[in-house]
């Protein structure tokens, strides 16, 4: 095995061995999916239509924003990055490999949700599978990139939680998972386009589930892909090996550039 596969293999196993990561990668998304599947259609029957895309987007949000940044901050604080630097492990591998393994865990969870939802809850499946896979990849890239960027710029785990929740909570409320985009007030709907979840739900509805998208679905896919690429680029640029996270090439506020594709998307949607 070469260095990449060795690193990938170890990080993948960490996602199962580490209790916090196991919770965020599997237990929380799958538990929430089962709960929503059993409860929500009873309260709100039309929710069944959105069960598969909403729970896949939820799984991505949980595994990335709640699972990815903290281990990065901890690793820097206890000197793991220093050890990696001495042994020639590049910053790009340190940042991208955990994101890739998270996407692999998410793929497994997505397969479980997609395969069981029709059997357990009689939920509809996507009608366009390439659109479903493409949107999943775009959303996973965007969220993994932004979560990695949060881990890079956060000075401590407390701040990490703050940044992560700043995206996770609004995504749950306004991202189209619980309440459809069309039912949001105009201002809230417009602002919600700054969230990856809104873009992903819009793309899934328009490109995978056979529904009418609220705004340009291909535009949403492009916004998600661009923000993912931008987030990883910024994360590598702003990365610090230092355990106190004090020395880096640019100011942490540069990270806000990651919002640029969403702002442009919002203006043109």
Instruction: Give the residues lining the site for another protein (CB under 8 A).
Output: 1-3, 6-7, 10, 13-14, 17-18, 75, 78-80, 82-83, 85-89, 241
Pick 24 or 200: Cβ nearer another protein: 24
Least separation, in Å, of the C-beta of 10 and another protein?
Answer: 5
Q: How many residues does the chain have?
A: 269
Q: What is the token pair recorded at 1?
A: 């095995």
DSSP state of 180: -
Pick 72 or 258: Cβ nearer another protein: 72
Least separation, in Å, of the C-beta of 268 and another protein?
Answer: 43
Least separation, in Å, of the C-beta of 75 and another protein?
Answer: 7
Cα(98)–Cα(142) distance, rounded to whole angstroms?
14
Cα(164)–Cα(150) distance, rounded to whole angstroms?
7
Pick 46 or 88: Cβ nearer another protein: 88
Pick 17 or 251: Cβ nearer another protein: 17
Least separation, in Å, of the C-beta of 43 and another protein?
Answer: 40
Distances in Å between the alpha carbon of 243 and those of 31, 85, 93, 137? Answer: 35, 12, 18, 32
Pick 7 or 105: Cβ nearer another protein: 7
Pick 3 or 256: Cβ nearer another protein: 3
30 and 112 Cβ atoms separated by less than 8 Å: yes
Pick 82 or 248: Cβ nearer another protein: 82
Least separation, in Å, of the C-beta of 185 and another protein?
Answer: 46
Q: Which residues contact 23 (CB under 8 A, 6 or more apart)?
A: none
Q: What is the token pair recorded at 102?
A: 């998270």
Say how many Å lie between the first and final Cα of the chain, rounded.
46
Tokens 């949060």 correspond to 150
Radius of gyration of the chain measured on its C-alpha atoms: 18
Tokens 């929500």 correspond to 40
Longest dimension (CA), the chain: 57
Least separation, in Å, of the C-beta of 95 and another protein?
Answer: 15
Closest by CA to 151, choosing from 250, 235, 61, 249, is: 235
């Amino acid at each position: 095995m070469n260095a990449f596969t060795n690193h990938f293999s170890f990080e993948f196993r960490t996602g199962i061995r580490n209790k916090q990561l196991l919770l965020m990668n599997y237990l929380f998304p799958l538990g929430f999916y089962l709960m929503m599947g059993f409860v929500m259609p009873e309260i709100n029957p039309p929710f069944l239509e959105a069960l598969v895309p909403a729970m896949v987007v939820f799984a991505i949000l949980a595994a990335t924003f709640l699972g990815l940044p903290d281990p990065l901050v901890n690793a820097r604080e206890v000197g793991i990055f220093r050890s990696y630097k001495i042994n020639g492990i590049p910053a790009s591998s340190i940042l991208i490999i955990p994101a890739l393994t998270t996407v692999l865990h998410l793929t497994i969870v997505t397969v479980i949700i997609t395969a069981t939802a029709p059997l357990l809850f009689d939920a509809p499946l996507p009608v366009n599978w390439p659109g479903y896979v493409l949107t999943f990849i775009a959303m996973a890239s965007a969220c993994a990139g932004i979560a990695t960027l949060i881990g890079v710029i956060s000075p401590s785990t407390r701040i990490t939680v703050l940044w992560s929740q700043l995206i996770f909570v609004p995504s749950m409320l306004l991202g189209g998972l619980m309440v459809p985009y069309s039912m949001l007030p105009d201002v809230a709907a417009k602002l919600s386009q700054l969230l990856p979840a809104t873009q992903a739900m819009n793309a899934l509805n328009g490109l995978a589930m056979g529904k009418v998208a609220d705004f340009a679905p291909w535009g949403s896919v492009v916004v998600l892909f661009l923000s993912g690429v931008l987030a990883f680029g910024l994360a590598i640029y702003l990365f610090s090996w230092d355990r106190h996270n004090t020395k880096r090439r640019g100011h942490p506020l540069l990270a806000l550039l990651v919002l640029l594709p969403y702002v442009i998307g919002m203006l043109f949607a």
